[in-house]
Amino acid sequence: MSVEQYQQQLQSAYNGSQDPDVQSTAQQANQYTELFKSGQISKDEYLQTMADLQRVAMIQRSIDNMQAMEYLNTAITGLITLAGLV
Amino acid sequence: MKQLLLLSVLLLNGCALYDAYTMTKYDPNEYKLITEIRSDAQQAKTDCNDTDISRVNAVNLASKTHMFTLYSEHVPKNKDVIAASAELDAIAQGLANQYAKTTVSAVFCRIKFGNVETSADYMQKVIGARPR
């Protein structure tokens, strides 16, 4: 596959997803590829920025887990408080 | 009412219930550190046209993200922050290493500090929202 085909795939991911994280990642990947193609960032820098997209996605996943636990904690604490009042 | 509450609690998965109830509480030191990382990255992004200042900024920020990983590492029931802080540190170390070995473009500098800033912002939100 050529660079252009991969960029097309990124565009499809952007258009086909309702998830803002997927859209933002696809958009950034396309932007970094354009910066590399126009010589504004070096090959080393390009590789690092693309690797960072995966790192940011991992951070996002950990944050989603923590958020879910926080919601659950709020619900449990609330239910316990309510049970004490009944 | 009591039956309804009991049913709600029983419907939740037992392990998740326990983990959520005993989750790590809000830690002001952890919150302060992640706020400093976000603030430093935000400020450093504006200095990217000056290579000498940016090199120092990159090293200082990498030192702070490293301290954050060490701080979080031994806090019990903290696996998500430990995982996220390791990724955040890798992003910051990447920029410091790039400055150590070669010249760095201002565009790359802004992207990297921006990535640290955005990630620290996500993390700050959940660290700040932990139960008191």
For residue B17, is it within any domain?
Answer: no
Provide the chain A residues 16-55 that lie in CB contact (below 8 A) with chain B.
Answer: 32, 35, 40-42, 44-45, 48-49, 51-52, 55
For residue B5, is it within any domain?
Answer: no
Give just the sign of the alpha carbon dihedral B97, B100, B103, B104.
Answer: positive
Three-state DSSP class for residue B22: coil
pLDDT in tens, B96-131: 999 999 889 999 999 999 999 999 999 999 999 988
Distance from CA of residue A10 to its chain's centroid? 13
Q: What is the CATH number of the domain that holds B111?
A: 1.20.120
For residue B50, is it within any domain?
Answer: yes
Domain range enclosing B42: 25-128
Asked if the Cβ–Cβ distance from B126 to A70 is below 8 Å, we say yes
For residue B9, is it within any domain?
Answer: no
Query: What ipTM score was computed for the predicted complex, to two decimals?
Result: 0.83
Instruction: Give the number of beta-carbon pairs within 8 Å between A and B.
Output: 105
For residue B18, is it within any domain?
Answer: no
pLDDT in tens, B47-61: 999 999 999 999 999
Asked if the Cβ–Cβ distance from A70 to B129 is below 8 Å, we say yes
Asked if the Cβ–Cβ distance from B8 to A55 is below 8 Å, we say no
Question: Phi and psi (nearest 5°) for B49?
Answer: -75, -15
